[in-house]
Structure 1
Amino acid sequence: MSIAQQLIQSSPYIALFITLALGYLIGKITIGRFVLGGVAGTLLMGVVVGQLGVDIDPGVKSIFFALFIYAVGFQGGPQFFGALNRKTVNVILSAVVMTSVGLFVVLGAAWMFDLDRGTAAGLAAGGLTQSAIIGTAGDAIGKLGGITEEAKALMQTNVAVGYAVTYIFGSLGPILMVTWIIPTLMKWDIRKEAIELAEGQNDGKTELSDGEFNAITALDSRAYRIDSNSALLHKTIAQANDSLIDTAIELVQREGEALASNEVTFRENDVVVVTGRRSAVKQQASLLGEEIDIPSSVELVEENRQLIATNSKLIGKTLGQIKQLAQKSLTRGVYITDVNRGGTSLAVNADLVIKKHDIVQITGKAADLNRVANNIGQRLGSAYVTDFVLFGLGMVVGLLIGLINFKIAGIPVTIGSGAGCLISGLMVGWLRSKNPKVASFPMGASNFIRDFGLAVFVGIVGLQAGPQAIDAIREHGLTLLMLGVGVTLIPQIVAFFFSYYVLRVRNPIEALGAIAGGRSANPAFAALLEKAGNATPVFSFTVTYAIANVLLTLWGPIIIGIITTNVG
């Protein structure tokens, strides 16, 4: 036994992390416009490292996949429920087409190559990457009449053999299809299309990539010299700030001395510093006087504070009314710089009516904010702290949903922990968008859980599938492997063109997400997310994934019933 095998048997997780490291390393290899990607790289390296014989508890794969899919659902929850409309029917139909074509291709291969029932079912399970077919087909074989128990056992073995031979390309093929083959054929830039789709869902708000930022800030500070025509002349600071919503007069300088009292009355030649939303400051310029450079001695340290509108006395009132009710006896002005409702920023003006659970961002000195905050509502929790109460409960709900099972025409169908955690993640993410007091799951944390959960899941898939698949290929030759390639690729090609030209699922990201979901191809979806860089594929994947999980599971007994060839 080699040293490597001894180490891996002593600690199999060494093999897992070697697989992750090497997989993401070779995933960076670029050939022309083709980039393998970390997901495909990890799958391939898992097959290679798996030849050493790695024994990892299958429960590890399940829990990390559940974490991955929950984080995906959480991030895509608000957009998913917002996207549900009549076009959902076309996305659902694309999954029906995908799974139906997959069934017909398997039946055609079985007829052309005289495959027995078990091998055909295994071809479907591996080529369509739906392991539930192994169980449903095996049960159906066990109930067959008129054949020996020995023949039944052999066909049940052939289900596993067919699955082992075809599963690796069954996982790799959809990755290549949605991240390289179809985008290259259609001349799509996945990241660009994902950004455009996200901007469309966010009312045109720019989707920023890593390292990008908006160089034009929302806030601005300017200085003006009061002249004889200024609208501020002879008013106090309190009177001036009283009518302002999204700007505030922060400072008055008179003969080099800073004045801050509410009762200070503006005089000619005073210098005032106004801070607020850029557009609002610009609008007030003509009323203040001559604009000058901000004096070098002026320093303004302010704070943004996000408050969840919960005060019943303010709900249903306009920002102008709230400003009057909330701001009492302030030394300096506090101004409103953003109002967010359901994840969307609204235009700030005096007539905007505040609804319960709107997030109102106020800006000003900390001492002034402290006086105002309690009049509006509860402070939004830290953007860097995860609400583990809702996170834990969300995972529990997802795993419980995954236990649900039912029968269709006597065939048992189980939701599964993956689908269950996806559903619960969607619900908790949507809840967070509606009630920002709960379910905090910062983007950095959710991205890590999503990416690490995916990496571990794909790595273990490769490690577990590799040895038996290679042995099965050696034993049964390349014919079954090539049939698996056909079962993997043909349904995707047919379903894509049918969906694109007939069902008119034209958005590239939605079309690719439907391909991955209609195949119940989790690694392909993960690779698509990696290329997209955001959660835009979640909607079409989730809808088609649910349909595909049910239909593909049903194909097992149907294949056993239609095909009549038995072993022996």
Structure 2
Amino acid sequence: MSRLSVFSIFQRLAVLLLTALFPVSGLAQSTEAETAPVGAIGNVFSFFEPIAETGLHGFFVLLGDQPIVFLLLALAIGYPLGRISLAGISLGSTAGVLIAAVVMSMVAESAFGLTYSIPSILSSVFLLFFMYALGLKVGPQFFSGLRTGALAFLVISFLVWSLNWLICVIGANLAGLEPGYAAGLISGSYTITAVMGVAQNAVQSGAYQLPANMTAEQVGANIAAGYAISYILSSVGIILVIRYLPQVMGHDPVADARTAEIEFSGGDDTALPGTADALVLGFSPYDLRAYRVEHPDFVGQTIGELTLRHREVPILRVMRDNVALDISDMLRLAEGDIITVRGDVHELILEGTEMIGPEVADAAAREVPLEAADIRVGSHEVSGKTLAELVQQAGYGVQLSAMFRAGQAIPIGPNTDVRFGDVLRLTGPDVAIQKAAKALGGRPILESTVTEVTYMAIAMAIGYLVGILSVTVAGIPIALGTSAGCLLMGIFVSYFRSRNPSFGGPVSEGARSFLQDIGLNMFVAVLGANVGPKVISALGGDTVLWLALIGILAALVPVIVAYFVADKLFKLNSVINDGACTGARNSTPGLNAIVDESGSTVAAVPFPLTYAVTTVLALFGGYIAMVIS
């Protein structure tokens, strides 16, 4: 039985089922309806009919017609593929998605003659999301990282670039490769597509003199072939090298990442305002107890009056007839009310029965939700006072867990002075938090699952515009790049949030993490779809073997050498060293690999500097490689 007849049988069965369930005038009587269902159902059958008729060919046609399905399938295959571990080594999600996309694209090209081409704007948008989200994570550590390791980062940048250039140019000459291959190898092994552009510019402008037996189109084809082969191998190879290089050199990336985080925060491991773990509730040294109000000193008293008399034992909840009342200074207690108090576990709690009334086992009374909030001091009247003085004004019912000035945690004690712009991290019930915020002249920033998209869009737009600004030097346009621009804007936003946590609106860590993950993997899925056909066209003869060998050496050897030099000469932290090397190699997927392996984004601190330096050097290097080819 053919696939077409099977399809027709299912088609008729569907029509009969629909007719039985939903009789429609003319549908049951129409002979045509039995063979060609109408409306939405008919559209569904006609949509999938090519697959039923032609099998795998139809499936790959569908993927070509519906690129979103292709990308989602690449993610669905790539993520579990990246988790497969052999001898303790796994590819990771990014490499898995890239391989899945490339293989599907190559199968479509080689088996069915289908060339996939997904608009590059899609990959660009997702890459910008990734870079901005990454910048939000590392912002507060970026500037302190530059102060401590700028020289080492510049040395790493120069080593990676110069060794890559030498391997590509000398290797192409020794292998006897035609003009154009060297520039393509630089572009692919560095994964900088713009290098192909400057190499083509050298050909078209006449800076490179074409041999008599070659045309500009042939040289351009060589550039593209060198790029395609080296790009795939270097993209996967660098992920594995960057992921496991610290362990190979005898380091523990998880422990070293933690050390780097503490070092860049000035020796304090308290999460800065506006960062992921800033408002995570920890252990509270206070105890909650519930008492029935019977003592004359409490009956008939207002919350405000009791606050002045027993400030160190705040009243957090009042229950009357099993209903929780709104706490306010004017609320007057009545006999029989159940109040929940909080205080240190000492005589004030132990004597609660004598001071208030009998203790009661009321679960509802003790269910007082605590919150952590960052509050920026916005009142000049508060500025200059000590914490001991502020306790009387704003300390009722809250616990001060940390204090920050200019983005740095400072020691806290009774005589610590509070200044305008300081950020205080308080823990307590909402009513106490709100009261403290009012006294400090600020507003509480609480843990939120909401992300303010307006600020994010404006910041990314500014980063994009900064990235496209270019300066032409010797005929070569030099620009920061849109991805680096968005990365820097994320860094700046996060940096200012560490000083004023309300800047940029609420940012959910879950949303930020999702943007970082899905952004990069959708980016590599699009690249894999588009580069697959180029790999097919480059396969054949000994040339492809030379391209593969030179490309993989140019991608990996410079990174290994630079890492070794920085490790032995500068004694650089292994994770920071890895981040600097992956930036010098312009490998965003490589950065994601060490972030996954170390469990920290601190590796991204040196990434923007080395990324920017080697991008400029690689563009000049590609132009020169083409001219002297």
Q: TM-score, structure 1 length as denominator? A: 0.83
* Residue correspondence of structure 1 range 252-291 to structure 2 within 5 A: 275=342, 281=344, 285=346
Output aligned runs, 1:311-322, within 5 Å: 311-322=379-390
- Cα drift, residue 350 of structure 1: 2.7
Q: Could you say if the C-alpha distance between residues 168 and 371 of structure 1 is closer, same or farther in structure 2, counting changes exceeding 3 Å?
A: closer
Correspondence for 1:380 among 444, 447, 459: 444
Structure 1 SS opposite 2:540: helix
**Largest Rg, 1 or 2:** 2
CA separation in 2, counterparts of 1:118 and 1:107?
A: 10
Q: Match of 1:351, SS?
A: coil
Q: 1:562 to 1:501 in 2, by over 3 A?
A: farther
Question: Measured at CA, do residues 437 and 356 of structure 1 come closer, stay the same or move farther in structure 2, by a change above 3 Å?
Answer: farther
Of 429, 442, 447, the match for 2:513: 447
Q: Which residue of 1 aligns with 2:95?
A: 40
Is 114-123 or 468-477 further displaced after alignment? 468-477
Mark the CA change 1:351 to 1:243 in structure 2 (over 3 Å): closer, same or farther.
Answer: farther
2:202 to 140, 144, 164: 140
Question: Aligned-pair distance for 1:221?
Answer: 1.0
User: Residue 364 and residue 416 in structure 1: after superposition, are their counterparts in 2 closer, same or farther (change >3 A)?
Assistant: closer
Which aligned pairs between 1:389-468 and structure 2 lie closer than 5 A? 389-439=454-504, 440-468=506-534
CA distance, structure 2, for counterparts of residue 325 and residue 290 of structure 1 = 26
Between 1 and 2, higher relative CO (CA 8 Å, sep ≥ 6) is seen in: 1
Give 3-state SS (helix, strand or coil) of 2:551's partner.
Answer: helix
Q: Does 1:308 align with 2:376?
A: yes
| 1:523 pairs with 2:578 | no
Q: 1:100 is matched with which residue: 130, 150, 162? A: 162
For the pair 1:217 / 2:279, whether they are aligned, the reply is no
**What's the Cα RMSD here?**
3.7
The count of residues paired between Structure 1 and Structure 2 equals: 528
Q: Following the alignment from structure 1 to structure 2, what is the Cα–Cα distance between the partners of residues 199 and 359? A: 19
Tell whether the 8 Å contact from 2:242 to 2:594 is kept in structure 1 after alignment.
yes
Measure how far apart 1:469 and its partner are. Answer: 0.8
User: Aligned partners of 1:504, 1:362: CA distance in 2, in Å?
Assistant: 39
Matches within 5 A, 1:161-200: 161-180=225-244, 182-200=245-263
Q: Paired residue for 2:174? A: 112
Letter matched to residue 492 of structure 1: V
Letter in 2 for 1:503: F
SS in structure 1 opposite 2:526?
Answer: helix
Q: Deviations over 1:149-206 (max 9, x none)?
A: 95333222211111112110121111011112x2342233433432343344454538
Contact 1:165–1:472, Cα closer than 8 Å, also in 2? yes
1:345/1:221 CA distance change after superposition, 3 Å: farther
Inter-CA distance 250–70: structure 2 relative to 1 (3 Å threshold)? closer
Q: Deviations for 1:198-247, whole angstroms, at most 9, x for unmatched residues?
A: 3444545389xx99x9996134217799xxxxxxxxxx998996598886
1:145 to 1:28, Cα distance in 2 relative to 1, 3 A: closer
- In the TM superposition, residue 10 of structure 1 has moved relative to its aligned partner by 2.3
Equivalent position of 2:399 in the other structure: 336
Partner SS, residue 342 of structure 2: strand
The answer as to 2:615 corresponding to 1:549 is yes
Q: Which amino acid aligns with 1:494?
A: V
Residues 44/478 of structure 1: CA separation in 2 closer, same or farther (3 Å cut): same
What code does the residue aligned with 2:68 have? Y
CA pair 186-437 structure 1, distance change in 2 beyond 3 A: same
The range that moved more, 381-390 or 515-524, is 381-390
What's the CA shift string for 1:244-300, capped at 9, x where partnerless?
A: 888647699xxxxxxx9999xxxxxxxx98635xxxx36xx3787679997534734
Alpha-carbon deviations, 1:363-396, whole Å to 9, x = none? 5565555555422223234522212221111111
Distance change in 2, residues 1:522/1:302 (3 Å): closer
After TM superposition, give the deviation of residue 58 of structure 1 in Å.
Answer: 0.7
**TM-aligned CA deviation for residue 71 of structure 1:** 0.5
Q: After superposition, what is the alpha-carbon deviation per residue over 1:33-55, rounded to whole angstroms, capped at 9, x for unaligned?
A: 21221111111111111122332
Residues 15 and 147 (structure 1 numbering): CA distance in 2 closer, same or farther, change over 3 Å? same
Between 352-361 and 509-518, the greater mean CA deviation after superposition: 352-361
Amino acid at match of 1:337: L
Show the counterpart of 1:157: 221
Q: Is 1:354 matched up with 2:421?
A: no
CA distance in 2, matches of 1:460, 1:561: 31
In the alignment, residue 171 of structure 2 is paired with which amino acid? A
Distance 1:274 1:470, change over 3 A: same
Deviation at 1:141, TM superposition (A): 2.2
Worse-matched range after superposition: 301-310 or 357-366: 357-366
In structure 1, distance between residues paired with 2:430 and 2:246 = 51
Supply the distance in 2 between the matched residues of 1:192 and 1:405 (Cα, whole angstroms): 40
> For 1:300-338, what per-residue CA distance to the aligned partner results, in whole angstroms no more than 9, with x for missing partners?
4254363332122112322222233447xxxxx433333
1:469-514 CA distances to partner (integer Å, 9 max, x unpaired)? 1331235432221121111122112211122112332x11111111
**Equivalent position of 2:49 in the other structure:** none
Letter in 2 for 1:517: G
Q: Percent identity?
A: 27
Correspondent of 2:82 among 18, 23, 27: 27
Asked whether the 8 Å contact 1:246–1:336 carries over to 2, the reply is no
Amino acid at match of 1:6: V
Q: Check the 8 A contact 1:246/1:349 in 2, yes or no.
A: no
- Note if contact 2:92-2:593 (Cα within 8 Å) is conserved in structure 1: yes
Counterparts of 1:1-80 in structure 2, within 5 Å, are 2-51=57-106, 52=108, 53-80=115-142
TM-score normalized by structure 2? 0.75
- Would you say the 8 A contact 2:203–2:210 is kept in 1? no
Aligned counterpart in structure 1 of residue 554 of structure 2, from 487, 503, 506: 487
What is the CA distance between 1:404 and its match in structure 2?
1.1
Aligned partners of 1:420, 1:34: CA distance in 2, in Å?
A: 34
Structure 1 equivalent of residue 392 of structure 2 = 324
Contact 1:244 1:335 in 2 (8 A): no
CA contact (8 A) 2:82 2:90 kept: yes
Please tell me whether the aligned partners of residues 127 and 484 of structure 1 are also in contact (alpha carbons under 8 angstroms).
Answer: yes
Which runs of 5 or more residues in structure 2 are unaligned? 1-53, 109-114, 292-301, 319-326, 331-338
Unmatched segments (≥5 aa) in structure 1: 226-235, 253-259, 264-271, 328-332, 564-568
Distance 1:178 1:364, change over 3 A: closer
Q: Secondary structure at the match of 2:379?
A: coil
Contact 1:245-1:336 at 8 Å conserved across structures: no
